[in-house]
């Protein structure tokens, strides 16, 4: 389920902030997730829910599970290693052993393309 994309961020106007093209809006179906790896920061998970796309850190805040390989249940992703859960929209940890919230990232959509603005 996790498609491994290696994307090098492009320089944006602001210092230390990059804009990254992730995929086209039509590339993923609702309930799908993908992992994006970077050379200079931890990987990002991209989730498509019924009403749009959401991005979070890919690595579970508990151990080292890859959340893009997890299980989407409603608005939550369940870690594939220990069944800790996070709200995909807010990153909020839902249950043990997920106790620390997950970082979430805003996305921009332009011309059917999804971009991530991210600090590096």
Residues at the site binding other proteins, with contacts judged by CB under 8 A:
62-65, 71, 78, 80-83, 97
Residue 5 or 97: the one with the smaller Cβ distance to other proteins is: 97
First vs last C-alpha separation in the chain: 26
Residue 30 or 63: the one with the smaller Cβ distance to other proteins is: 63
88 CB contacts (<8 Å, ≥6 apart)?
47, 49, 54, 56, 72, 75, 76, 77
CB of 37 to other proteins, least distance (A): 18
**The tokens of 17 are what?**
């902030």
118 CB contacts (<8 Å, ≥6 apart)?
9, 17, 18, 19, 20, 41, 44, 105
CB of 102 to other proteins, least distance (A): 16
Residue 19 is given by DSSP the state E
Residue 21 or 71: the one with the smaller Cβ distance to other proteins is: 71
CB of 16 to other proteins, least distance (A): 26
Residue 9 or 68: the one with the smaller Cβ distance to other proteins is: 68
CB of 82 to other proteins, least distance (A): 6
């Amino acid at each position: 389920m996790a498609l491994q994309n290696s994307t090098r961020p492009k320089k944006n106007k602001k210092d230390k902030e990059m804009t990254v093209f992730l995929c086209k809006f039509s590339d993923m179906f609702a309930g799908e997730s993908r992992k994006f790896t970077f050379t200079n920061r931890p990987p990002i998970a991209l989730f498509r829910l019924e009403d749009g796309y959401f991005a979070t850190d890919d690595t579970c805040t508990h151990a080292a599970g890859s959340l893009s390989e997890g299980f989407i249940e409603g608005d939550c992703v369940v870690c594939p290693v220990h069944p800790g859960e996070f709200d995909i929209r807010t990153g909020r940890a839902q249950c043990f052993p997920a106790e620390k919230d997950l970082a979430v990232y805003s996305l921009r959509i332009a011309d059917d393309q999804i971009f991530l603005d991210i600090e590096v």
